[in-house]
Amino acid sequence: MTNPSPLVPTILSDPPLAKIIPHQLEKHGQVRVDNYYWLNDRSNPEVIAYLQKENAYATAQSQHTVDFERTIFEEIKGRIKQTDFSVPFKQGDYVYYVRYEEGKEYALYCRKKGSIESPEEIMIDGNELAEGHEYFSLGNWMISSGQDILAYAIDTQGRRIYSVGFKNLTTGEIFSDVISTVTGNMEWGNDNQTLFYARQDPDTLRSFQIYRHVLGQESNQDELVFEESDETFSAYVTKTKSKQFLMIGLHQTVSSEYWYLHADRPYEKFQVFCPREREHEYDVDHLGDHFYIRTNDQAKNFRLMKADLSATLKTQWQEVIPNRDEVFFEGFELFREYLVVEERKEGLIHLRMLPHAGGQEHELDFGEPAYYAALGDNYEIDTPYLRFGYTSMTTPMTIYDYHMETREKVFLKQEEVLGNFQSSHYKTERLLAPASDGTLIPISLVYRKGSSPNGPHPLLLYGYGSYGASMDASFSSARLSLLDRGFVYALAHIRGGEELGRHWYESGKLLQKKNTFTDFVACGEFLIQQGYAHSQKMYAMGGSAGGLLMGAVMNMRPDLFHGMVAQVPFVDVVTTMLDSSIPLTTGEYDEWGNPDQRDYYDYMLSYSPYDNVTAASYPNLLVTTGLHDSQVQYWEPAKWVAKLRALKTDDHRLLLKTNMDAGHGGASGRFKRYEETSMVYAFLLDLAGVPQS
């Protein structure tokens, strides 16, 4: 029998220990010793071998739940309608939709001319494009102004680096034009042959250049029309809803800027809309004789302004909707007769209709204590219908058309959940947990009615709390595999998100970041006190910046949770934020702070999960990552697990699973993505002592 390759180890029963190679990191006169810094090299065969050993160990430690994982996976897959389609949306002369065929992992992108009763045209079959690739993602697709040419962007690695191809939808011909190593962001000019697209820095992956491509020319001849030199800003291209203007958007955490060009004249130069200012964020759209601008200028929670087409400077704007302290203005949608405003009040989305001609405004009422509503595919201006989606923790995503004049709500489609699912079997609640400083933190939760555990339920608490990203109470058919086995699922709306307005975000970032962590702890304690969870059956989960949350909370309160799941966790905060060559670093100084400044360095160091691992007893922990992750590099969780293995004093489970073929979003494919979900659920259910039968 030949010896196995050192890069493909046999199943391990003992945890692999990463070798220690001290590496000194000096800053502000302080020296940190990083024993696992060497893992920061995916080209090193020893690194790959170590990750594979960790995978083998995780497999060995999960052998007793393999059948359980398969059962859960089949449950989740069995709830999904395999032959399915999205709600068609109208754009120009066609209706567009996405559909799935039974047994296939990827979507078919289709359209019909005039109406849904017309013959189908399959524009792109994702299954054909995915052949031969372990990972596949169709990241974006755009139809030309003449509606006869499709531009589509594909990623076959998971690092969010795309190649753009072109197809003639009339003849079926695939153009020879290929634009490689780009972001996937793109937009057509109105001449039916010019495509603008964004390119990223090859090292940091920051989107910073906008190019102009003309069909038929070699991509190396494409013209650079804009380059963003400030490393804290990212660039992208879009088009106004009116389709009259191309816009280059430039964004950082606290500032934004737009440049515009008439889409009928794509060879002209872009001009600045409103010059950037520190702490000024704005967004732009266009209708008729005006630009409409959502801005935080003199408006903490944002307000709506408008400007004449030739008067775009901030001093020339006119107020349409003022700032309100109790309402966060999230966005808007323009129609010929109506302005639709998306607002957040007390953490919940509200949609408000305002006639341009004046008259009575009105609001959609959703009538549940915790839910999520969102504007949908509204590409046409000349329509009285608003497309929106609604979901709650007990209601699958439901798509409606709402007639803004008659106020008739037209049901279009609800996500179909196969099996014996009934919304009435579940209950959702909204709670308020007091934080350590007295602030009340909202919690949305759901559980199955009539579940009868011996004592309080096991409970999974999910959190994120960064970038102003609001975590809304939405439905998950996969989650039913937890709820039907007695779990309560809770969502902590902690500071750092934007559920309660801009102040909610600002009080959970920079030098107030620890509020995010203490809020999460307070939510966990409250749920136990109120009898929603058994004190020995509390579990927590978060991903990316939510993985940072898991690591920080684990160091602060290792006794509170019996188990945790950290997905693609951002845990080596100081080292990453000191390395400007790593993707996302420079653009996030206004989120975490710039560690070149001593006060930010010291504060980050005080909560960074990797730097604060000590000889202590930690919860059971499952960590996931992807070798090609462009958002949080794989070595952060790998180093964290290595350090935990060396220092922790308990015999609790510590598993690291690295997807060697994927990036930040995990596995691709409609069903394959649920393999990780099944693994996570089996891990949690097994820890909670839930029978596998």
Catalytic site positions: 544, 629, 664
Q: Taking Cα atoms as reference points, which of 152, 95, 101, 86 lies closest to residue 121?
A: 95
Q: Taking Cα atoms as reference points, which of 185, 143, 134, 132 lies closest to residue 162?
A: 185
379, HSE (Cβ side, Cα atoms, 13 Å): 14
Q: Taking Cα atoms as reference points, which of 576, 575, 570 lies closest to residue 547?
A: 570
Beta strands 271-274; 282-287: pairing state: unpaired
Beta strands 256-262; 245-251: pairing state: antiparallel
* Cα 426 to Cα 473: distance, rounded to the nearest angstrom: 14
Edge-first strand order for the sheet with 426-434 is: 426-434, 440-448, 488-492, 459-462, 538-543, 563-567, 620-626, 654-659
Q: Which residues contact 571 (CB under 8 A, 6 or more apart)?
A: 547, 548, 551, 608, 609, 610, 636, 637, 640
DSSP state of 545: H
Q: Which structure tokens are listed for 71? A: 């059962």
The answer to whether 526 touches 431, Cβ cutoff 8 Å, is yes
Q: Which residues contact 170 (CB under 8 A, 6 or more apart)?
A: 148
* Cα 387 to Cα 239: distance, rounded to the nearest angstrom: 19
* Cα 636 to Cα 638: distance, rounded to the nearest angstrom: 5
Which position has the token pair 């109470």?
Answer: 473
What string of H, E and C letters represents the secondary structure of 441-473? EEEEEEEECCCCCCCCCCEEEECCCCCCCCCCC
Q: Tell me the C-alpha to C-alpha distance, in Å, between residue 67 and each of 123, 192, 419, 650.
A: 39, 54, 21, 27
The answer to whether 390 touches 409, Cβ cutoff 8 Å, is no
* Cα 85 to Cα 226: distance, rounded to the nearest angstrom: 38
Task: Quote the crossing angle between the two packed helices 674-687 and 66-79, to the nearest 10°.
Answer: 130
Q: Which residues contact 678 (CB under 8 A, 6 or more apart)?
A: 69, 70, 72, 73, 76, 481
The answer to whether 461 touches 490, Cβ cutoff 8 Å, is yes
User: Around Cβ 601, how many Cβ atoms within 10 Å?
Assistant: 19
The answer to whether 379 touches 90, Cβ cutoff 8 Å, is yes
Q: Tell me the C-alpha to C-alpha distance, in Å, between residue 397 and each of 87, 414, 548.
A: 12, 6, 29
**Concatenated DSSP letters for 32-50?**
EEETTGGG--TT-HHHHHH
* Cα 62 to Cα 251: distance, rounded to the nearest angstrom: 43
* Cα 153 to Cα 160: distance, rounded to the nearest angstrom: 10
